[in-house]
Structure 1
Amino acid sequence: MTKLAMNDPWLKPYEERIHRRMQFTRARERSITQGGDIPLEQFADGYLYYGLHRDERGSWILRESLPGAQSVYLIGSFNGWQTMSVWKLKRVDDYGNWEIKVAKDALHHGDHYRLFVHWGHGCGERIPAWATRVVQDSETGIFSAQIWAPEEEYKFKHTRPTCQDEPLMIYECHIGMSSEEGKVSGYREFQEQILPRIVDLGYNAIQIMAIQEHPYYGSFGYHVSSFFAPSSRFGSPDELKELIDTAHGLGLRVIMDLVHSHAVKNEVEGLAKYDGSRTLFFHEGPRGDHPAWDSLCFDYGRNNVIHFLLSNCKYWLEVFQFDGFRFDGVSSMLYYDHGLGEAFTSYADYFNGHQDADAMAYLTLANKLIHQVHPHAITIAEEVSGMPGLASAIEDGGFGFDYRLAMNIPDFWIKLIKEHPDEAWSPGAIWYELTNRREDEKTISYAESHDQALVGDKTLIFRLADADMYWHMSHATRSLTTDRAVALHKMIRLVTAATMNGGYLTFMGNEFGHPEWIDFPREGNGWSYHYARRQWSLADNSELLYHDLRNFDKAMVHLLDGIRSFNNLPLTQYWSHEDDQVLCFGRGNYIFVFNFHPTLAYTDYAIPVPEGHYSIILDSDAKDFGGYSLIDDAQPHYTQSTTYDGEVKDAISLYLPPRTALVLKRN
């Protein structure tokens, strides 16, 4: 029996199917590695063979796989974009590999190029699939591959952080919208201006969105066209390397938002009909179209697709020194209907034959490869269905991810705020939703992400304060509405982070309650960058409540990050009272107390906790955090014997103002 089923008796009826999935994955690995003769790491070296490279003598060689092509030409700024016989690629085998060798002085750093491909029923220009730099002409809007071969390549100076004991505290960010100015910001600017902010806040990892090249800026980076090219909108490949290297020097691990779940439909810029056929990379017919995303779905049953995507994983780890990946759209990969047609109300929904075995094999092999290449790598699955075993070890019957996103948590907070008055907030329901997870899988908890900041949705602060946040977020003009919003914003974040079992994540700017939404330049807003930026000055202004929210987030993150292996400390609920709306739980020597009641303050409120002497080390009502300092944080708290339902227990007595959270440490 697999360890996965041993840990979860509800999986025992599906043990045979778990074994079949494991056997299928092993068979796929044997197939692509020729029975194990080629190590998986070597199989993923495609980026060293395909694409444009220099040989040992300095000459150029370009290789691409286009099985459906009848002829292929290299065109570019070096030959007037003309198809010439001297620039014609040669087909070198029966598998559809084409190549051309060019003298070292024929191509130069900065040259632009594309392929011109003839197939049976037509022809067209294509950007090479393995291109490592793609740029857009500012006047014509046309994308081309660009030769990136500076005289001196960037040399990494710092080693990757490898500490595994601390909880993973992730700051999710987008390079382009990280400036306060209405523009596309860059790697260098982010490195110099934003990395210091992240370090100051106390986060130990950054998760960067929109790295892979994408034609439409407003896609948030999720309609990828060139999988091996870092987005040139933000700067050069060397500038990205320097950003990552600098982050490593500051103790930050750098996670890349990796999109292997689908691809943009563009033909010239992307992989669609790359050799004239749809099926080189994608499924034919309806199965190849994602109905919700207007994109194309990979055929993970093709060895060339597995080779392309696994090589992509290794490329970003090796060439750019990323520390791991957050895999986007995993639910879409797992199910034939992309998870759109299932309710997922029982375990049977995970084993009903609607699962894509090829995609499951790919995800498992990707995790195996990533951890072979970099043993301390981090892999996170963005998956909404709750597929069992996703973040369990491969040998235990799982898929091998290190973490899965706890996507139920932000959905819970939205539903609670929208549908329940404050008087009906249940501490029992809050506890259940924040701790309802599989014991053998680590999760990344978060109160909100970038999705809730986009136009069409609302951030937590916007849901809580609404229009008052435009007029009443200064100390001088604060209102009852903004007081409520600020108090609950802090409490929601603390209770979410404090109950994590793997890590915690926030999106850039949400930590200080960034106002408004994110809206990228588009025709509907006059191509404005006004909402595609972050207003850091609000957090820097000590007269504003945004500044106080930033202070609280900083104190919270430093506290939790400073407790060794905090995420591994057992969670114990000490108190949950529905009428009082008070919740208390502990981890190690730390006690977390929350009074969610909107109006009632409690004096000498007794809570049973382990015997000892306690000190308040974090108070959400502190003045520095936008509160009113109603609690004497310097007062020590000693447990006393108290009777609960006829049983004598140790308890501390606390003053709990409405909408206040406390963290106490046992000395």
Structure 2
Amino acid sequence: MLAGTHHDPHSCLGARAVPGGVLVRVLRPYARAVTVCATGLRAELRSEGDGFFTGVLPQPTVPAYELLVRYGPRPGQDELRTGDPYRFLPALGAYDLHLISEGRHEELWQALGARPMTHAGVTGTRFTVWAPNAQGVRLAGDFNHWDGTAYPLRSLGSSGIWELFVPGLAAGTSYKFEIVGRDGARMLRADPMARRTECPPATASVVDEPGHVWRDAEWLARRAERGWHEAPLSVYEVHLASWRPGLGYRELAEQLPAYVRDLGFTHVELMPAAEHPFGGSWGYQVTGFYAPTARLGSPDDFKELVDALHRAGIGVLMDWVPAHFPKDDWALARFDGSPLYEHGDPVRAEHPDWGTLEFDHGRREVRNFLVANALYWCEEFHIDGLRVDAVAAMLYLDYSREDGQWCPNEHGGRENLAAVSFLQEMNATLYRRCPGVVTIAEESTAWNGVTRATHHVEEGFGGLGFGFKWNMGWMHDSLVYMSKEPVHRKYHHHEMTFSMVYAYSENYVLPISHDEVVHGKQALVSKMPGDWWQRRANHRAYLGFMWAHPGKQLLFMGQEFAQGAEWSEQQGPDWWLLDPGYSAEPDHRGVRDLVRELNAVYVRTPALWQRDSDPAGFRWIEGDAADDNVFAFLRFDARGEPLVAVTNFSPAVREGYRLGVPREVPAWTEELNTDASVYGGSGVANPGPLVTEDVPAHGHPVSLAPTLPPLATLWLRPERKPEPERRPYA
């Protein structure tokens, strides 16, 4: 018991009937006296040394009792009245243990971790942890001066679960698990299932009791009825800690929804909100998978932010990192003294690029931990979707590994079959339990079937089941093109058209994410060639092209107003650029106004989103005008209503540029022009209706001849005839 390696402390401690009464044994190191207090009973126990106190109560049955523990030299000094954790039966049921052992407990957070509850009529907190290789587990915290000697947990058999109900402990208590490994080494570990943590750099877990009252029922009801593949999805990516440095979750709840709604984005995507020790990792090296980072507030504070976004009509996506975790010795690494969450083979466990450990996705308890974690964020925090990080690193055994550093799978291939199975299980479970939730894969390879249903067989594996996939190829190719001087762009014309070769092989999101504006890659506007005016014009034209391209859009904060500096997690976006005192010209403010208009037109134009996954929703008008740096195409909604998108990536004004269009539309009008003066452009436009002419072009019997502004994107819609005047019925 004193060595911390007893599997069943309740068999030695607590109270039990014996001949002549009830035997009570208590372990309280450093105590001078322990008294048992019950109704009509007060009995001081005899010290047996080493902190053990024993006595036989003259009672026929075990009463409900408490302990009066005295640490002072005289009666009444430094006394603590407390319940006895060792008088209770287990507070975790057999069915929970069965599901955990099977790796199928979909609400694992209800069974493991620290949960305030009433047990046998007594309020307290139940602590449970999975540590199958431990010789013993004890509970240490601020309530016992971080000495777990008096609080050993009991083993619940082959499940590997250890449990202890501690009466009187409430929300706000800080704690860790003191674990003795197979080799006798002692470790102090944070709770893998903790719902709340201390604020880094502190590392303890904190008992949390949810108290938030949700007010987003209307949003959730609408979400459950919506299919995002055929709906507008325009995403603003946010790093919460630096969007407005110094704001916590509740302050963000007052400002972020209003800003995003004003710009017209349908969703925000939060870079990982789970707890992480190093702020410079931006959340991608997680230690507290079930706890929102305490840097910005409590779990209830985070819920208030999500709630506020929902009430503003904005969906919340969140980055989720089930591929790997850091090596911090107080967290998941060798959690119970042996490889547990990571693979047992050190070569398989170590990620060669990131200095982290990869999850063992083939172990059922680890899969359960991660699948339940995905559900946890969506069910407990009402998250609307998960963008799964580093999917490519999970799918391949040889990812970033040289020959000899990996072993083929059972079929002789390089595919990580365990990770494939895990991703399929995660997606299938999430879509089954959470109507309207969407999953998005960050996957940069040619893996076939990332967004196909799990029952849809692709190369013998089945689809991975994601809703969307980041189109990293489009992002890379288009930015290469945009970085070239216009005179050289004709040699890279195919970089802008190649995406349409595979555009319907998956369901895509077009990402201009944080990864593209850090580490020397430059901000989006700074990637563009030319002087400052040309850079902004290129920036605007590119956004117009992106919003019209098949697929959903994602834009990282700061790029909506063309800040020139790379993103810094310390200072966040350069908001001062939007101050009218900085510039009377609509340069940065003009770009932001354009983004607002892009989103407004996008949402009200079904042709731009309704058939994103249907090849019939797109048709090239002009995809080969390399010498002109011009791209033109049609988008169609479900009824066949068209929209023309044409981009001139040349600084030359092109007057009377012939474009073939459908005969059914007699006249067209500008719906959007990125060169408009209000956006900081030159103001070249087509002010009146563009009437089709009987001049064949591009396979159409009729055509238009608009003026194409320099470095600009135009959206043309069918001219709407005015509604006939309604006269009162006579």
Cα distance in 2 for partners of 1:403, 1:412 equals 19
1:171 is aligned to 2:218:
no
Aligned with 1:50 (options 112, 115, 136): 112
1:389 matched residue in structure 2 = 449
Provide the secondary structure at the position in 2 that maps to 1:102.
Answer: strand
Cα distance in 2 for partners of 1:276, 1:251 equals 47
Provide, for residues 148-207 of structure 1, a one-character-per-residue CA deviation record: whole Å limited to 9, x for no partner. Answer: 236x4433443424133422111111110011xxx4432122221122111111111111
Cα distance in 2 for partners of 1:483, 1:218 equals 33
Q: Tell me: CA distance 1:644–1:242, structure 2 relative to 1, closer, same or farther (3 Å).
A: closer
1:27 matched residue in structure 2 = none
2:20 matched residue in structure 1 = none
Cα distance in 1 for partners of 2:345, 2:502 equals 37
- Does the CA contact (< 8 Å) of 1:615 and 1:666 recur in 2? yes
Cα distance in 2 for partners of 1:423, 1:494 equals 21
Q: Tell me: CA distance 1:430–1:562, structure 2 relative to 1, closer, same or farther (3 Å).
A: farther
2:630 matched residue in structure 1 = 582
1:450 is aligned to 2:509:
no
Provide the secondary structure at the position in 2 that maps to 1:504.
Answer: strand
Q: Tell me: CA distance 1:41–1:282, structure 2 relative to 1, closer, same or farther (3 Å).
A: closer
Cα distance in 2 for partners of 1:217, 1:205 equals 24
- Does the CA contact (< 8 Å) of 1:427 and 1:581 recur in 2? no
Deviation at 1:286?
Answer: 1.4
Q: Aligned partner of 2:413: which letter?
A: G
Q: Tell me: CA distance 1:433–1:187, structure 2 relative to 1, closer, same or farther (3 Å).
A: farther
Q: Tell me: CA distance 1:355–1:265, structure 2 relative to 1, closer, same or farther (3 Å).
A: same
2:532 matched residue in structure 1 = 482
Cα distance in 1 for partners of 2:607, 2:622 equals 24
Cα distance in 1 for partners of 2:270, 2:680 equals 30
Cα distance in 1 for partners of 2:661, 2:586 equals 37
Cα distance in 2 for partners of 1:295, 1:449 equals 23
Aligned with 2:299 (options 237, 250, 254): 237
Cα distance in 2 for partners of 1:41, 1:573 equals 50
1:526 matched residue in structure 2 = none
- Does the CA contact (< 8 Å) of 1:177 and 1:534 recur in 2? yes
Cα distance in 1 for partners of 2:453, 2:709 equals 45
**Which runs of 5 or more structure 1 residues have no equivalent in the other structure?**
1-32, 343-348, 466-479, 521-528
1:498 matched residue in structure 2 = 548
Cα distance in 2 for partners of 1:414, 1:622 equals 23
Cα distance in 2 for partners of 1:644, 1:458 equals 40
- Does the CA contact (< 8 Å) of 1:62 and 1:100 recur in 2? yes
Q: Tell me: CA distance 1:427–1:83, structure 2 relative to 1, closer, same or farther (3 Å).
A: closer
Deviation at 1:643?
Answer: 4.3
Provide the secondary structure at the position in 2 that maps to 1:257.
Answer: strand
Q: Aligned partner of 1:586: which letter?
A: L
Q: Tell me: CA distance 1:166–1:384, structure 2 relative to 1, closer, same or farther (3 Å).
A: same
- Does the CA contact (< 8 Å) of 2:212 and 2:303 recur in 1? no
Q: How does 1:505-524 map to 2 (within 5 A)?
A: 505-520=554-569
Deviation at 1:438?
Answer: 5.1
Provide, for residues 54-78 of structure 1, a one-character-per-residue CA deviation record: whole Å limited to 9, x for no partner. Answer: 3344332111010111111111111
Aligned with 1:148 (options 198, 208, 213): 208
Quick one: higher RCO (CA 8 Å, sep 6+), 1 or 2? Answer: 1
Provide the secondary structure at the position in 2 that maps to 1:84.
Answer: helix
Provide, for residues 608-632 of structure 1, a one-character-per-residue CA deviation record: whole Å limited to 9, x for no partner. Answer: 1113210111111101111021224
1:271 is aligned to 2:332:
yes
Q: Tell me: CA distance 1:370–1:41, structure 2 relative to 1, closer, same or farther (3 Å).
A: farther
1:98 matched residue in structure 2 = 162
Deviation at 1:642?
Answer: 1.2
2:692 matched residue in structure 1 = 639
Cα distance in 1 for partners of 2:578, 2:597 equals 14
Q: How does 1:351-390 map to 2 (within 5 A)?
A: 353-390=413-450
- Does the CA contact (< 8 Å) of 2:352 and 2:401 recur in 1? no
When Rg is computed on C-alpha atoms for both structures, the one with the higher figure is 2
1:405 is aligned to 2:470:
yes
Cα distance in 2 for partners of 1:126, 1:380 equals 32
Cα distance in 1 for partners of 2:401, 2:489 equals 31
Provide the secondary structure at the position in 2 that maps to 1:177.
Answer: helix
- Does the CA contact (< 8 Å) of 2:686 and 2:706 recur in 1? no
Provide, for residues 294-335 of structure 1, a one-character-per-residue CA deviation record: whole Å limited to 9, x for no partner. Answer: 110011110110111111011111111111100000000000
Q: Aligned partner of 1:372: which letter?
A: R
Deviation at 1:341?
Answer: 6.4
Aligned with 2:605 (options 541, 563, 583): 563
Cα distance in 2 for partners of 1:206, 1:436 equals 29
Q: Tell me: CA distance 1:564–1:91, structure 2 relative to 1, closer, same or farther (3 Å).
A: same
1:114 is aligned to 2:176:
yes
Provide the secondary structure at the position in 2 that maps to 1:654.
Answer: coil
1:525 matched residue in structure 2 = none
Aligned with 2:481 (options 404, 410, 416): 416
Per the normalisation by structure 2, the TM-score is 0.76
1:301 is aligned to 2:301:
no
Deviation at 1:538?
Answer: 2.0
Q: How does 1:188-337 map to 2 (within 5 A)?
A: 188-268=250-330, 270-337=331-398
Deviation at 1:256?
Answer: 1.2
Deviation at 1:603?
Answer: 1.8
Provide the secondary structure at the position in 1 that maps to 2:251.
Answer: helix
- Does the CA contact (< 8 Å) of 1:538 and 1:544 recur in 2? no
Deviation at 1:396?
Answer: 1.7
Instruction: Report the aligned-residue RMSD.
Output: 2.6
Provide the secondary structure at the position in 1 that maps to 2:705.
Answer: strand
Aligned with 1:128 (options 169, 179, 191): 191
Provide, for residues 492-515 of structure 1, a one-character-per-residue CA deviation record: whole Å limited to 9, x for no partner. Answer: 1121221123x1111111111123
Cα distance in 2 for partners of 1:37, 1:455 equals 45
Per the normalisation by structure 1, the TM-score is 0.83
Cα distance in 2 for partners of 1:389, 1:119 equals 42
Provide the secondary structure at the position in 1 that maps to 2:392.
Answer: helix
Cα distance in 2 for partners of 1:185, 1:555 equals 28
**Which runs of 5 or more structure 2 residues have no equivalent in the other structure?**
1-94, 404-408, 458-462, 612-616, 637-641, 720-730
Aligned with 2:247 (options 185, 191, 206): 185
Deviation at 1:395?
Answer: 2.1
Paired positions, count: 587
2:576 matched residue in structure 1 = 537
Provide, for residues 206-244 of structure 1, a one-character-per-residue CA deviation record: whole Å limited to 9, x for no partner. Answer: 111121110000001100011101111111111111111
Q: Aligned partner of 1:456: which letter?
A: G
Cα distance in 1 for partners of 2:344, 2:546 equals 40
Q: How does 1:52-67 map to 2 (within 5 A)?
A: 52-56=114-118, 57=121, 58-67=123-132
Cα distance in 2 for partners of 1:201, 1:426 equals 35
Cα distance in 2 for partners of 1:438, 1:592 equals 17
